[in-house]
Structure 1
Amino acid sequence: MRLHSRDDRRRAGPRLRVAVLGTGYWAWWCHGSVLSARPDIDFVGFWGRDAHKAANAAARVGRGRGFTDLDEVLDAVDAVSIALTPDVQAPLAARAARAGKHVLLDKPLALDVAAADEVVAAVARSGVTSLNFLTYLFQAEVTAWLDDMRDLAAAHGRWEGASVSCAGSIDTPGSPYSDSAWRRARGGLWDWGPHALSLLFALLPPVERVSGVRGLRDTAHVTMEHAGGPVSSMTLTVTAPEGTQESTVAVWGPGGRHTLSLPTGTLREACHRAVDRFVEAIARGSRSHPLDAAHARRIVAVLDAAERHLARPAEQRMTVPAP
């Protein structure tokens, strides 16, 4: 199944009423800017705990208003687009789903499996549509490359391994994420990890076992064993030294070795494509999507397993005998 289509946002029927849960940079710059500009969306506004921030976010996009009462905003919409820290996103996504609202989720869905399970259960019980906005899977350059890799695997045999390296820095001057407490605390594993896993999930069978080691700063090096034998790896950091920031994906097997430098732009265009898929699924009455809450939960499960391995006691690690 191809995750992208031609850019056509004209829809028939009543417009979907949507609000953004969140008031930060990503909430207004991406989610809010995209939703408020679409002719098929009746953009209601932003919800947040701080009334001033919620009103300011609405003023930035020039549409909707600010809300501080979650029940009030849920009563006013058909769906919510969530741009909150993962520990806040999960319980609010579950609450929205239980209220019968479709949910457009950000990454990571949660910071633990139990919280992710709560969202999956709420979505399943309510029968609402869920979609996880993983930016790479809605960027045309990336999805075209993934389609080519699938075609090569079908023609020559499955891929035997893959690697993803994501090196960015929230310390870059002017970074809108420099004050992100959860990124400081959880590092590249949880910030970049969902992006890396979205690519590995598209290329290889399900992950069965995980191991990892810590590097300098927040860097996490993770190795995964996939069903049937393929092995993959991720190197992830949000505090890369100056001049070393780059993200790539590589895959190898009977079809050769192929590498893609991952794009850093077109994020709003990716969000438009994600909203396209979200609106289409709702219009069809579809309650499942390849990138639904259950897919997001599988990502959380791998990251949780990796974090537990990274935290293992020193005495459980193999040491190299001195000469």
Structure 2
Amino acid sequence: MRPVLVLADHTVTDRSVCRSTGALLTLARRLGPPTVVLCGPADPADIAMLGRFGATRIATVTRSELDEHPAAARVEVLVQLTRRTTPAAVLVASHRLGQEVAARLCARLSSGLITDVVDLRRGADGPVGVQSVLLGAYRVESSVTRGTPVFTVRTDAVVPVAAPVEPVVERVEVRFPPAVRAVRRIARRSGGAGLRPDLATAAIVVAGGRGLGSHQSFGLVGALAEALRGTVGGSHTATELGWCPRGQQIDQLGTIVHPRLYLALGISGSVRHRAAMQHAEKIVAVDRNPAAPIFDLADLGVVGDVHRVVPELLAEIARRKATR
């Protein structure tokens, strides 16, 4: 049986393998024995985590190019490993870097790409990717008809399931052509938001909208995300008003999220916003308008002023942390 290549995901803070890779491995096992492509040294804790979710082989690549040229170098690694191993499929997490890597990989391999899958299964003619479309009203099944299938996966839509094995760890040598070095990262700058999990794969998302009233009040979103160790997002309106960066916009034209907990602060809930967050496991909404559409999706709705509700919530979180 042909292997399945899985590009490991790393956390922003300590560069350890993050939980989204467990979701990738859960789906990869349905197609064949997973081979994890680990861009960095093989830390014992990472090896144990990958083995717990069924990685039969771990291919490590330790080169400075992976940090200096993150997208191009990862594409080159996957291209060379794909040509060496002829895998049944390649799986990548569906976030900004993952989407870029997957698209460039397919261009290099002349292969088909299916994005934002929420499930995978083995079909009669190869892997079948399942996508959730039109506000979740339909599930679309698609397959690649040429080359090695490449899938980007919405990892927070997948429940990681353990299947412990003892992985074989192998260091892989990759030659990087000059073209990889055409674009180089010269600096890394991060503020508070940069230390949080990536928005597309975060387990907890706190989002703010027009109801916060001002850029200064939008700081409540960051404060609550910090207290819950979550990630900040914003509605289309909040982005247009300049209260949050474009990269944190949650809607059909921005980022689609599948967190375990989604908190909407001052967001009425437009169709495009609801389409991007409706599959969160638990939704908590705070808004002054009791008729706001966001309450139709909320597991818990609070009709009230966010400027009063959020500070009280922050105080309660602080009290509970202090008594631990």
- TM-score normalized by the length of structure 1: 0.36
Structure whose residues are more often helix by fraction: 1
Q: Which has the higher contact order (CA 8 A, sep 6+)?
A: 1
